């Protein structure tokens, strides 16, 4: 009887291992969106299903009348929150990245035509990794810049919405 239990246990273990081998493994999805300016700082990372959001929140209106060409915030002003990304948003991001030809393009910097290096522009960077493929996009926002690519906008918006949900609720009085 012990022999049958022993053989039966190996049979079940073998079936489980075979089933695991046949399950499709999802490719690791990593996203990193970053932008900053004199009055803003946004850094959103998705790694291993964890969303990390580092941001500046001007709660004391220090930047309202800021005129300098340097940030009104310091590293000490930045706040960071981390939480698992909900499965629905991760699936939406994964589908968006997989459906777009982004991963097949050469790394790109999108900017206004004939922009001079000294001209002012706000940089937005998006790094996408899906499995062994990585893509880096950089967008320079200015009034005469071409529109931001739709796929860049969608990924940014999904990340921004998910990140905003991580912010602690502000007590209103």
Q: Is residue 114 part of a domain?
A: yes
Give me the phi and psi of 65, to 5 degrees please: -110, 25
Q: Is residue 96 part of a domain?
A: yes
Q: Is residue 6 part of a domain?
A: no
Residue 172: the pLDDT is 41
Q: Is residue 79 part of a domain?
A: yes
Residue 162: the pLDDT is 96
Q: Is residue 21 part of a domain?
A: no
d(CA 82, CA 160): 13
∠ at Cα 143 (157, 152), nearest 5°?
A: 25
Domain of residue 41, residue span: 26-166
Q: Is residue 63 part of a domain?
A: yes
Q: Is residue 171 part of a domain?
A: no
How many domains in the chain? 1
Residue 1: the pLDDT is 53
d(CA 134, CA 127): 7
Q: Are 48 and 82 in contact (CB under 8 A)?
A: no
CATH number at residue 56: 3.30.1560
Q: Is residue 11 part of a domain?
A: no
pTM score, whole prediction: 0.77
Per-residue confidence in pLDDT tens, the chain, 173 aa: 555 455 555 555 554 555 444 445 678 999 999 999 999 999 999 999 999 999 999 988 989 888 888 999 999 999 999 999 999 999 999 998 887 666 666 555 555 455 555 567 788 999 999 888 888 888 888 877 788 888 889 999 999 999 999 988 654 44
């Amino acid at each position: 009887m012990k022999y049958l239990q022993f053989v039966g246990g190996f049979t079940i273990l073998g079936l489980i291992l075979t089933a695991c081998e046949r399950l499709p493994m999802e490719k690791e999805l990593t996203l990193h969106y970053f932008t900053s300016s004199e009055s803003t700082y946004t850094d959103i990372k998705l790694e291993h299903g964890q969303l990390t959001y580092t941001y500046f929140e001007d709660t004391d209106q220090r930047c309202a009348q800021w005129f300098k060409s340097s940030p009104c915030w310091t590293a000490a002003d930045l706040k960071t929150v981390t939480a698992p990304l909900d499965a629905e948003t991760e699936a939406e991001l994964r589908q968006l990245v997989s459906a777009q030809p982004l991963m097949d393009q050469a790394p790109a910097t999108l900017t206004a035509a004939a922009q001079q290096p000294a001209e002012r522009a706000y940089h937005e960077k998006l790094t996408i990794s899906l499995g062994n493929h990585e893509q880096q996009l950089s967008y320079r926002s200015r009034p005469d810049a071409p529109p931001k690519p739709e796929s860049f906008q969608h990924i940014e918006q999904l990340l921004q919405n998910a990140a905003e949900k991580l912010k602690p609720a502000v007590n209103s009085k």
